[in-house]
């Protein structure tokens, strides 16, 4: 790891100021960033820790929705339970020690194509709140490791509407513990949403054909024999693109079955 200066502001305003320097970078739980720094894939001159900012911690229940502070760790979302499918998802990220450090803001900012949280944010139609604006999940994810965030912009919170029913099914890649394919299905007041992670070269995406079928008939049978096009699916040593496309169909049917 190259050396860097370390700062720990206690307010969002001070963190934004510290991140004004273009070689400064935000530090969430470090579960992705520290390994990246060890590989010398990044060389910030300053790391700005977000862990001392109390306004970015914790979960509040507003009745129809919950708001999760951007620096809230996975373990706290797992034990919350206001949206059961979201808590289950958080409780199956990595392992207990990773969940005690990794944060929702870090996961959404990183937008790893195999990460779990992006599928929940997209599937539930969440709103990403930053120090300057609110971004709908549909506009936020912009392909592998790419998001609508500007340089130095901080995810301060995530607003998540409560679904009528929801479920997340993860087919785990046993070595990395990330999703080989993960599917988040939510029945919301605006219709059914199906968000898929781990599968596409474009990162997390909504499977619109499945949504259309489920809006007509919310049952696993409505998806019988369906799978997304294998073109554009990830192919690597863990699975071919056809395998991943097939898994998307299977995991979506399981998620729907678990919803009802």
Partner 1 sequence: MSQVTMTVNGKTASGDVEGRTLLSQFLRENLKLTGTHVGCDTSQCGACVVHVDGKAVKSCTMLAAEADGATVDTIEGQAEADGSLNTIQQAFQDHHGLQCGFCTPGMVMSTAALLKDNPKPTEAEIRDYLEGNICRCTGYHNIVKSIMAASGQDVGSIAAE
Burial 133-148 (b: 16+ CB within 10 A, else e): eebebeebbeeeeebe
Closest to ligand FAD by CB, 182 vs 214, is 182
Under the criterion CB under 8 A, does residue 37 sit at the interface with partner 1?
Answer: yes
Under the criterion CB under 6 A, does residue 111 sit at the interface with ligand FAD?
Answer: no
Closest to ligand FAD by CB, 204 vs 214, is 204
Q: Which residues contact 110 (CB under 8 A, 6 or more apart)?
A: 32, 145
Cα dihedral 244, 125, 11, 82 sign: negative
Distances (CA, A) of 73 to 58, 78, 169, 189: 8, 9, 21, 28
Binding ligand FAD by CB under 6 A: which of 4, 7, 14, 30? 30
Shortest CB 56 distance to ligand FAD, Å: 7
Residues 53-72 that bind ligand FAD (CB under 6 A): 70-71
Cα dihedral 193, 196, 202, 207 sign: negative
Under the criterion CB under 6 A, does residue 33 sit at the interface with ligand FAD?
Answer: yes
Sheet holding 134-136, edge to edge: 59-61, 65-69, 155-161, 127-130, 134-136
Say which residue the tokens 């990162």 belong to: 203
Under the criterion CB under 6 A, does residue 29 sit at the interface with ligand FAD?
Answer: yes
Residues 58-77, mask of contacts with partner 1 (x by CB under 8 A): -----------------x--
Instruction: Catalog residues that contact ligand FAD under the rule CB under 6 A.
Output: 25-33, 50, 70-71, 93-94, 98, 102-103, 105-107, 109-110, 112, 115-117, 154-155, 177-178
Instruction: Catalog residues that contact partner 1 under the rule CB under 8 A.
Output: 1-6, 8, 27, 30-31, 34-35, 37-38, 47, 49, 51, 75, 94-98, 100-101, 177
């Amino acid at each position: 790891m190259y050396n860097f200066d370390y700062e720990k502001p206690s307010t969002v305003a001070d963190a934004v100021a510290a991140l004004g320097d273009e070689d400064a970078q935000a530090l969430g739980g470090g579960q992705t960033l520290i390994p990246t720094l060890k590989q010398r894939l990044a060389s910030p001159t300053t790391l700005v820790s977000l862990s001392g900012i109390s306004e970015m911690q914790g979960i509040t229940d507003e009745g129809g929705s919950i708001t999760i502070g951007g620096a809230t760790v996975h373990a706290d979302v797992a034990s919350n339970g206001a949206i059961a499918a979201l808590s289950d998802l958080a409780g199956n990220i990595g392992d207990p020690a990773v969940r005690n450090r990794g944060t929702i803001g870090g996961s959404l900012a990183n937008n790893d194509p195999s990460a779990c949280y992006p599928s929940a944010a997209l599937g539930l139609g969440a709103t990403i709140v930053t120090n300057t604006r609110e971004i709908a999940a549909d506009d936020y994810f912009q392909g592998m490791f790419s998001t609508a965030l500007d340089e130095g912009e901080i995810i301060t919170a995530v607003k998540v509407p409560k679904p009528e029913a929801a479920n997340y099914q993860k087919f785990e890649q046993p070595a990395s513990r990330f999703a080989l394919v993960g599917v988040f299905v939510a029945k919301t007041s605006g219709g059914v949403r199906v968000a898929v992670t781990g599968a596409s070269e474009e990162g997390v995406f909504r499977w619109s054909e499945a949504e259309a079928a489920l809006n007509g008939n919310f049952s696993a049978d409505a998806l019988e024999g369906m799978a997304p096009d294998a073109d554009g699916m990830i192919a690597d040593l863990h699975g071919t693109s056809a395998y991943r496309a097939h898994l998307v169909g299977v995991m979506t049917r399981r998620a729907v079955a678990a919803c009802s």
